[in-house]
Amino acid sequence: MNKRVLRLAIPNIISNISVPLLGAVDTAVVGHLEQVYYLGAIAIGSLIFDFIFWGFGFLRMGTTGLVAQAYGEGNARKTKILLYRVLLVAMACSSAILLLQYPLIELSLLLIDATPEVEAYTCLYYKIRIFSAPATLALFGLNGWFLGMQNARYPMMVTIFLNVINIAANLTFVLILGMTVDGVAWGSLLATYLGLSLAILLYRNKYGGEVLNIKWAEITEIEELKKFFAVNRDITIRTLCLIFSYAFFTATSAKMGDVWLAANTILLQLWYISAYAVDGFAFAAESLVGRYTGEANMKKIKEAVKACMIWGLALGALGTLVYALFDTQLIRVFTDKQEVINTSMIVVFWLIIAPIINSICFIWDGVYIGATATVAMRNSMLISTLLFFAPVYYLTEPYIGAHALWLAMTTFMVVRGATLTLFARKEIFENKNILQQALS
């Protein structure tokens, strides 16, 4: 089982790490420009797109679980139908985003209390990057489908290619052509469409030869659409809660001033790097648990969960060690402004403990997605967000100031891990549908 986990996890770790590294490069490039508000604009602009694009993260997560189960059943036709269905939904959703692009930016800036300079450059960034929506959502669906087919290599290739192009474009536009946040936005737009082009080529190379003559009625079959949207509804609610937490974090940082916004943005980039690394094992859990759910093999499900959890915790512990040893050096990579570095060091403790603490809930997320046990995952997120995240911040902020924001985030992650662990026995290991299917 360890070999199967690593075969899926290592490509996912490599591709996942490239995602926050892109954000890290953007932050480092802009963080060394003359004005601090450029970094604030990237933080706010990225936050807005997190809301917009992560809100459709179900196109990746829901697809992986459903396709992996169809793969486990040996139903090739069903896997293709699921791909066409998710791409259809992706195109419909991206069309809606483009139609609503102006109300979205107006509402976003209304909710976020940023300085006039940050708002102006956020708008510049947004008006360019918004047109990457069709390619971004289509890539969610394609990468989710590849993972469901137990193919972690293709998402790795696409993600690395996309991010290398993005980094090269950003460095060219900003450092050579003298652009600012608009250069970062153009880099993202260009890279996303090139990444989608590569994904389509890879799909056609390996999976395009088999002609199944799938009909439109099969793609839009009502009962299957209901199942698709039921799973994705719960994932969407879960994802929106997660986005709310990060959005609250960034918006509150903005209210604390440009220096605190810059400091927390840098620390959050490092938080993302450790999170995406551990998510490599979470993605492996999605693929394997989904496959063994389709096969109705509870023994293999338990083995996969155990192996992914052990590897995820080990990687999280390594992340904590690295951050403890090199905290100041890592922060200096992102900025040369001493006031931002000093401010970051005030709360860096919370970054140091994050990787080992967060690993538990990240791995459980992968397990629940693979088993399509999305109701429990949604409920865990609602409990963590509504009953703990916001109350912890408001109750402690008068006493511990800036630490309250990080305490709220840490508590949020701890409660997610605890509730998902508590729900696992009933939702995963004693899942009646899997047990009944195994006996039939």
Name the 3-class secondary structure at 150: coil
Kindly report the pTM of this predicted structure.
0.76
Each domain of the chain, given as residue ranges in start order, spans: 2-439
Element (H, E) at 206: helix 181-206
Q: Which residues fall within 8 angstroms of residue 402, CB to CB, at 6 or more apart?
A: 256, 260, 346, 347
Return the pLDDT at 34: 65
For residue 415, give both structure tokens.
């409660």
Q: Do 146 and 195 contact (CB within 8 A), yes or no?
A: no
d(CA 55, CA 62): 12
For residue 96, give both structure tokens.
């809606």
How many Cβ atoms are within 10 Å of 74's Cβ, its own excluded? 10
Q: Which ranges of 100-131 would DSSP assign to H, the alpha helix?
A: 101-111, 116-129
d(CA 383, CA 242): 12
b/e map 107-127, b = 16+ CB within 10 Å: ebbeebebeeebbebbbbbbe
Residue with tokens 């969610």: 140
Return the pLDDT at 55: 74
Nearest to 329 by CA among 339, 344, 310: 344
Return the pLDDT at 35: 67
How many Cβ atoms are within 10 Å of 206's Cβ, its own excluded? 12
Return the pLDDT at 106: 82
Question: Which amino acid is present at 152?
Answer: A
Question: Which amino acid is present at 271?
Answer: W
Return the pLDDT at 316: 94
d(CA 373, CA 393): 30
In the chain, how long is the greatest CA-to-CA distance? 68
- What parts of the chain have a pLDDT lower than 50? 439
Name the 3-class secondary structure at 401: coil
Return the pLDDT at 126: 87
